[in-house]
């Protein structure tokens, strides 16, 4: 398996685990004992979306920093090899794209909050 596929699988698994941690520690106020699935209100849905976007934002920034560090080591170890230098430059471009996606995630969080939470008319 290539390292990119391993990274995608690892990232997807990490996001899945982080998404499940909130429900693992949840307390139930359900008197019937039946499992409750999903949020009960629009505000609850917005909260879930905000938390998910926040985790994606953090993960993207962590991955971007790791990619930049890996690209720096590749660039330093290139020893004049043009192929390795080009590879390092591409990795830095990918890291910058990850940072831009993370910043867009924050913008999406704001848009989702403003769109889904309405203020009552006076």
HEC string for 3-24 = HHHHHHHHHHHHHHHHHHHHHH
Residue-level pLDDT at 57: 77
Q: Quick check: pTM over 0.75?
A: no
Q: What is the pLDDT of residue 11?
A: 76
Q: What is the mean pLDDT of each run of 10 residues along the chain (122 residues)?
A: 72 67 56 64 75 80 85 88 90 84 75 71 58
Nearest to 59 by CA among 4, 108, 8: 8
């Amino acid at each position: 398996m290539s390292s990119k596929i391993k990274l995608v699988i690892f990232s997807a698994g990490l996001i899945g685990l982080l998404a499940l941690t909130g429900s693992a520690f949840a307390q139930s106020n359900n008197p019937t004992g039946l499992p409750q699935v999903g949020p009960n209100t629009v505000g609850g849905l917005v909260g879930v979306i905000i938390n998910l976007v926040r985790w994606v934002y953090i993960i993207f920034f962590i991955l971007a920093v790791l990619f930049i560090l890996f690209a720096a080591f590749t660039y330093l170890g290139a020893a004049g090899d043009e192929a390795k230098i080009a590879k390092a430059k591409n990795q830095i471009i990918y890291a910058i794209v990850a940072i831009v996606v993370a910043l867009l995630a924050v913008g999406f969080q704001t848009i989702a909050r403003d769109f889904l939470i309405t203020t009552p008319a006076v």
